[in-house]
Amino acid sequence: MNVRDSELVSNRLMSLGYSPTENEEEADIIIVNSCSVRGKAEDKALGKVGLLCSKVRPGVHVGLMGCMAQRLGESIFGKVPGLAFSVGTRAESRIPAILKRLETGESNICETGVFDEDSPNLGYVAPSGKAVQPISSFVTILFGCNRRCAYCIVPDVRGNEHSRVPSEIISEIRALAGTGVQEVTLLGQSVMNYGKRGFTWPSDIPSPMGFTEPLPRLFELITRDVPQISRIRFTSGHPSGVTNELVRAMRDIPQICKHLHLPMQSGSDRILKEMRRGYDAATYVEAVAHLRTAVPDIAVTTDIIVGFPGETDADFEDTRRVMEAAQFDNSFIFKYSPRPGTPAAQMPDDVSEEEKMRRNQVLLEDQDKRGLAMNQKFIGQVTEVLAEGPSLRNSTRWSGRNSQNKIVVFEPTSSISVGDTVKVKITDAHPQTLFGELA
Ligand code: SF4
């Protein structure tokens, strides 16, 4: 979501006549977008913005945006001398006006007090001045979150859930398709809650497939109104959102990719309860089974937190066991860090750093073995890949992703172009990557 917010700010500034630079030393304005989800992410952003403020040329303005700006408010100026402005989440639309105020000599401008509920983000402006247009783009459909998991700071810094109306989303996707985008990833902290609050699905938009839930209806609408979009992804999920309609949409709408990111966080019922996640391990595994029965070739990925307060060896072993039962294609493992103001921050952070590290490593090793076994099932199969261009590791080869969101590396031909959908026969598999040749 931060990547998307940064793109929107960047596009808006370009539309006002600014031009982007990769070189910090050339820039007249530098805005650091920040994340508060873990302590380490905040430390990195704080370090970066502090360093920039201490070394920029006179007249260069450094600003901060995103969740950390929202969380720290005015206090950020005491931590980072020289910071020109700080803009919270849902207030990015104020950045152009802030830049004008800076020209008049104002400084220490803070726009973090309130959320812009009516105009929650900057809105889409077609990118200009970029040499290469992307083929894949994020589109935020839902801001904020109402779930209030015990460890999570997101509801505090991104506010209550707020869904964008379908017409706004469609016009953004249509504009993206006009620039060559073929794949969209619909974003929301709790994306399956799309359209559930503060929003009624317009009665004049029919559902030929008979859906009543807003998210499947949005999928249908995108395929109807923007046929250039060949792939739709969405993230992040919650087991309570794996409804019959959602599963039917994933099975029957060909544009929906065969991948779901469904954060589990823990496999211990006791810890899940402490985390206030709203499900137990059995319910989670049932949701995955429901998906896999209807869509047998779906890839399921997850997030796990190790070292949550009170997590015992037995809780950790439950997590290992449930991860094996769920057969995740990939897992993102995080070491718990208390976030100020959350209920979990009141609990003793009693798992030592060494033990968090050990549990993290054990899960990574488990996942590597599991990921390899899952990927080896692709060997000999032909998979469709949206070609993204030369591979980062070896520029003589190309890479792209298949519907399951697996990275596929292959030998290109001279006629291949970025954005082509190619068929690749898989010949080798690593835990994170598939390798093959054009079929
Ligand atoms: S669902 Fe829970 S973890 Fe995810 S953003 Fe909402 S409160 Fe945070």
116 compared with 41, residue with greater pLDDT? 41
Closest residue to atom 2 of ligand 1, CA basis: 149
Instruction: Answer whether residue 128 shows pLDDT above 80.
Output: no
Burial tier of 410 (Cβ tally within 10 Å: 0-12, 13-18, 19+): buried
Distance (angstroms) between ligand 1 centre and the Cα of 120 equals: 19
Mean pLDDT of 376-388: 97
Strand bridging mode 398-402 / 382-390? antiparallel
pLDDT given at position 118: 47
**Are the beta carbons of 404 and 329 closer than 8 angstroms?**
yes
CATH topology of domain 2-111: Rossmann fold (3.40.50)
**Are the beta carbons of 425 and 439 closer than 8 angstroms?**
yes
How long a stretch of residues is the chain?
439
Segment of 86-95, 134-143, 296-305 carrying the highest mean pLDDT: 296-305
Lowest mean per-residue pLDDT among 13-17, 59-63, 148-152, 314-318: 13-17
Residue 58 DSSP symbol: T
Ligand 1 lined by 144 (C-beta under 6 Å): no
pLDDT given at position 330: 97
**Are the beta carbons of 408 and 401 closer than 8 angstroms?**
yes
Ligand 1 lined by 145 (C-beta under 6 Å): yes
pTM: 0.91
Ligand 1 lined by 154 (C-beta under 6 Å): yes
Ligand 1 lined by 152 (C-beta under 6 Å): yes
Ligand 1 lined by 235 (C-beta under 6 Å): no
Instruction: Answer whether residue 283 shows pLDDT above 70.
Output: yes
Q: For tokens 């997850």, what's the residue?
A: 302
Instruction: Answer whether residue 355 shows pLDDT above 60.
Output: yes
Lowest mean per-residue pLDDT among 8-17, 107-116, 198-207, 395-404: 107-116
Ligand 1 pocket test, pick from 2, 190, 302 with the greatest ligand atom count within 8 Å of Cβ, gives 190
Q: Give the CA radius of gyration of the chain.
A: 22
Closest residue to atom 5 of ligand 1, CA basis: 189
pLDDT given at position 131: 43
Q: How far apart (Å, rounded) are the C-alpha atoms in residues 354 and 377?
A: 35
Angle at 234 between CA 209 and CA 307, to 5 degrees: 135
Mean pLDDT of 330-349: 96
pLDDT digits (tens, 9 = 90+) for 86-112: 998 878 888 989 999 999 999 999 988
Instruction: Answer whether residue 180 shows pLDDT above 50.
Output: yes
Percent of the chain with pLDDT over 90: 74
Instruction: Answer whether residue 257 shows pLDDT above 80.
Output: yes
Ligand 1 pocket test, pick from 89, 154, 162 with the greatest ligand atom count within 8 Å of Cβ, gives 154
Ligand 1 lined by 187 (C-beta under 6 Å): no
Distance (angstroms) between ligand 1 centre and the Cα of 253 equals: 27
Distance (angstroms) between ligand 1 centre and the Cα of 315 equals: 21
Ligand 1 lined by 189 (C-beta under 6 Å): yes
Q: What DSSP line would sit under 410-432, residue for residue?
A: EE--TT--TT-EEEEEEEEE-SS
Instruction: Answer whether residue 117 shows pLDDT above 70.
Output: no
Ligand 1 lined by 149 (C-beta under 6 Å): yes
* Residue 153 CA, closest ligand 1 atom number: 8
Closest residue to atom 8 of ligand 1, CA basis: 152
Mean pLDDT of 69-79: 92
Q: Could you tell me the residue ranges of all domains in the chain?
A: 2-111, 136-376, 382-438
Instruction: Answer whether residue 429 shows pLDDT above 90.
Output: yes
pLDDT given at position 119: 46
Distance (angstroms) between ligand 1 centre and the Cα of 114 equals: 20
pLDDT given at position 197: 76
Q: How far apart (Å, rounded) are the C-alpha atoms in residues 433 and 404?
A: 12
The residues with which 143 forms a beta bridge, in sequence order, are: 162
115 falls in which pLDDT band (50, 70, 90)?
A: low
**Are the beta carbons of 63 and 85 closer than 8 angstroms?**
yes
**Are the beta carbons of 238 and 263 closer than 8 angstroms?**
yes
Q: How far apart (Å, rounded) are the C-alpha atoms in residues 315 and 306?
A: 10
Instruction: Answer whether residue 120 shows pLDDT above 50.
Output: no
Ligand 1 lined by 148 (C-beta under 6 Å): yes
Mean pLDDT (the chain, rounded): 92
Residue 217 DSSP symbol: H
Instruction: Answer whether residue 199 shows pLDDT above 80.
Output: no
The residues with which 235 forms a beta bridge, in sequence order, are: 187
pLDDT given at position 8: 84
Percent of the chain with pLDDT over 70: 95
Mean pLDDT of 333-347: 95
Ligand 1 lined by 237 (C-beta under 6 Å): no
Residue 320 DSSP symbol: H
Mean pLDDT of 368-388: 97
* Residue 155 CA, closest ligand 1 atom number: 7
Instruction: Answer whether residue 122 shows pLDDT above 80.
Output: no
pLDDT given at position 26: 93
**Domain range 136-376, its CATH number among 3.40.50.410, 3.40.190.80, 1.10.3720.10, 3.80.30.20:** 3.80.30.20
Instruction: Answer whether residue 150 shows pLDDT above 60.
Output: yes
124 falls in which pLDDT band (50, 70, 90)?
A: low
Domain covering 382-438 in this structure, CATH number: 2.40.50.140
Distance (angstroms) between ligand 1 centre and the Cα of 312 equals: 23
Distance (angstroms) between ligand 1 centre and the Cα of 237 equals: 10
Q: In what order do the strands lie in the sheet with 183-187?
A: 136-140, 183-187, 231-235
Ligand 1 pocket test, pick from 1, 147, 279 with the greatest ligand atom count within 8 Å of Cβ, gives 147
Distance (angstroms) between ligand 1 centre and the Cα of 240 equals: 13
pLDDT digits (tens, 9 = 90+) for 386-425: 999 999 888 899 999 999 999 999 999 989 999 999 999 9
Ligand 1 lined by 190 (C-beta under 6 Å): yes
Question: Residues 19, 25, 28, 33: is their CA dihedral positive or negative?
Answer: positive
131 compared with 26, residue with greater pLDDT? 26
Ligand 1 lined by 305 (C-beta under 6 Å): no
Instruction: Answer whether residue 333 shows pLDDT above 70.
Output: yes
Distance (angstroms) between ligand 1 centre and the Cα of 3 equals: 18
Ligand 1 pocket test, pick from 67, 146, 149 with the greatest ligand atom count within 8 Å of Cβ, gives 149
Instruction: Answer whether residue 154 shows pLDDT above 90.
Output: no
pLDDT given at position 16: 87
pLDDT given at position 114: 62
